[in-house]
Amino acid sequence: MKSLYAALAALSLFSTSLVFGADQPAAESPTRAATIAEVEKDVGFVPNLMAAMADSPAAPLVYTKPDGYHRLKRAADNLGVDLAINWHPFELNPNMPSGGEDLYDHFHKKYGMTAEKTDNLGDTLKRYGELLDFEFNYPQGNRMRNTLKAHQLLAWARTFGAETRAYEALFTAYFSDQRDIGATEVLLDIVDALKLDRDAAEAILSRGVLAESVKENERRWQGQGIHAVPAMIFPGRRLVSGAQTVEHYEQHIRQALTGELGELV
């Protein structure tokens, strides 16, 4: 198996599309990409859908357009490539209160969306999930969450080589299981599932030891122009902004493996 090191520049539970020298989408093929394109046409206005991408558990659990991480993973699987991903934090709503906010209220205040459009968004996510073998239970019954602690968990899990597994667990906990990924107990359940040290994780999360480090990392990437997610940086410093089709990610992976350079950041 080949190895590909993809550094994701920003990831957030709730993300928006990035306008930053983004590549133009490749032409759609008549296969899976066409199916996804048909789903997109049904939506109208789709503000960032969470996708666990750009480093953020909700920021790893990114709330990005139609889930960039799972599409990237599918592309790598199609090509027989092993991905090694470095996640970096991106909080879409850094001032979100600890109790979160009703999703319908949040989308209305932030994007002007009606309850009907929010429901349409959830239906679209579910259909995207079916294409990528992921179950979305969203937005009914769910809330927008503060993801700072989740980002700290990701940073801590990185020291054990478990960051991507933690991201996937966070994504599932939020979008499938509708759990509060800003709550310490929920995060510790994830630590248990990952078979990591619960006591050590609790000490980190309760004291906020990594909070400033996460914030500093966010500021560093924002200083380089990352203001929305998903944003991915492939080998050769090729920046890919916004969720792409599986076929488009395959193209970027091939270019990275052959040493072709893209845009510099």
What does the alpha-carbon distance between residue 172 and residue 69 come to, in Å, rounded to a whole number?
13
Asked whether residue 90 is assigned to any structural domain, the reply reads: yes
Strand partners, 102: 143
Asked whether residue 263 is assigned to any structural domain, the reply reads: no
What does the alpha-carbon distance between residue 255 and residue 176 come to, in Å, rounded to a whole number?
33
List the pLDDT tens digit at each of the 265 positions of the chain.
443 333 333 333 322 222 222 232 333 333 333 333 333 333 222 222 222 234 444 432 333 344 688 888 899 899 888 887 888 888 888 999 988 999 999 989 988 999 999 898 888 888 888 888 888 888 888 899 999 999 999 999 999 999 989 999 998 999 899 999 999 999 999 999 999 999 999 999 999 999 999 999 989 888 888 887 788 888 776 778 877 889 998 998 888 888 764 443 3
Asked whether residue 264 is assigned to any structural domain, the reply reads: no
What does the alpha-carbon distance between residue 253 and residue 210 come to, in Å, rounded to a whole number?
32
Asked whether residue 155 is assigned to any structural domain, the reply reads: yes
User: What total of structural domains would you count in the chain?
Assistant: 1
Asked whether residue 126 is assigned to any structural domain, the reply reads: yes
What does the alpha-carbon distance between residue 22 and residue 189 come to, in Å, rounded to a whole number?
37
- Give residue 189's domain range: 2-257
Beta strands in the chain (DSSP E): 2-10, 81-86, 101-102, 143-144, 231-234, 238-241
Positive or negative: CA dihedral 52, 55, 60, 61? negative
Residue 241 sits at the vertex; the CA angle it makes with 238 and 244, to the nearest 5 degrees, is 105
What does the alpha-carbon distance between residue 57 and residue 151 come to, in Å, rounded to a whole number?
6
CATH of the domain at 140: 3.40.30.10
What does the alpha-carbon distance between residue 60 and residue 27 come to, in Å, rounded to a whole number?
28
Asked whether residue 262 is assigned to any structural domain, the reply reads: no
Asked whether residue 265 is assigned to any structural domain, the reply reads: no
In which order are the strands placed within the sheet that holds 238-241?
81-86, 2-10, 231-234, 238-241
